[in-house]
Amino acid sequence: MNPAAPRPRRRAERRVAAVAAGCALLLTLAGCAEESSSPGDADPTSAADELDLAPDDDGFAPLPLYFVALSGQYPSGVTGAQIGCEDLLLQVNTVPMKTEDPVEDALNFLLQDQQYRHGDPALTNSVLLSSESLTLQDYEIQGDTVEVNLSGSVVTRSVCESYRIRAQFEATAAAAAGVEDARILVDGEDLDTLLGLDPFERGEQITTD
């Protein structure tokens, strides 16, 4: 197969029961050697891109998710990219789980999360503000980009929160699809345009003290 050829578009049914159960799983910060009951309680030891997300022999693999540490409230000893209002975008992984569709399950995990804040200092999930108004429809991977189609309304409370929502969606979709970039559409409109933001660029990678 030509690796640059588009993968078939997939219909993303909202498997609420399965993903809701997944939200009860333990989370670990990328690169963490120990499991934790909350993203903010982890003790990371290496950069996120060093973590192996490939399924094991039984088909189990962690889902890569992205959460945000707010400016001035960074956890210690973590590595992430600065975004928006000097917030820090951090990769967080579920414990290994069996999934036939990591892109769908990772995005629905964010939408169906039960808490805005996790741990202390907290990692935040601004995506869940749209949990009652936004639905994942489908996605398509072509080359090094995944295009995600959502339907409904994006709920945001500020420009800073808009940056967080966009960053979480794009980074999570790209990581789960195993590609470099993501494009997010809401009822056919680009999320950047909808939120009035410039195209997404991750800032400098920093490691906190």
Taking 70 as the threshold, does the pLDDT of residue 1 lie above it? no
CA dist., res. 17 & res. 55, Å (int) = 22
Residue 138's Cα: distance from chain center in Å? 16
Q: The domain containing residue 59 runs over which residues?
A: 10-203
Query: What pLDDT is attached to residue 105?
Result: 94
Is 195 among the domain residues? yes
Position 181 confidence tier, pLDDT thresholds 50, 70, 90? very high
- In a domain? residue 25: yes
Query: Would 149 be classed as within a structural domain?
Result: yes
Q: Is residue 4 part of a domain?
A: no
Structure tokens at 1: 């197969």
Average pLDDT, the chain: 80
pLDDT for res 29:
52
| Averaged pLDDT, 58-62 | 82
pLDDT at 21: 37
Please report the pLDDT score of residue 201 as a whole number. Answer: 82
- Which of 1-5, 60-64, 80-84 shows the lowest per-residue confidence on average (mean pLDDT)? 1-5
With a CB cutoff of 8 Å and minimum separation 6, the contacts of 85 are 71, 159, 160, 163
> Residue 145: is its pLDDT beyond 50?
yes
pLDDT above 60: residue 88: yes
Does residue 2 fall inside a structural domain? no
The answer as to whether 37 is a domain residue is yes
Cβ atoms of 126 and 154 within 8 Å: the answer is: no
Residue 143 forms part of a structural domain: yes
Number of domains in the chain: 1
Q: What is the CA radius of gyration of the chain?
A: 16
Q: What are phi and psi for residue 35, nearest 5 degrees?
A: -85, 155
Which of 34 and 67 is assigned the larger pLDDT?
Answer: 67
Residues 6+ apart with CB under 8 A from 5: 142
Is residue 209 domain-resident?
no
Q: Which two tokens stand for residue 15?
A: 């498997």
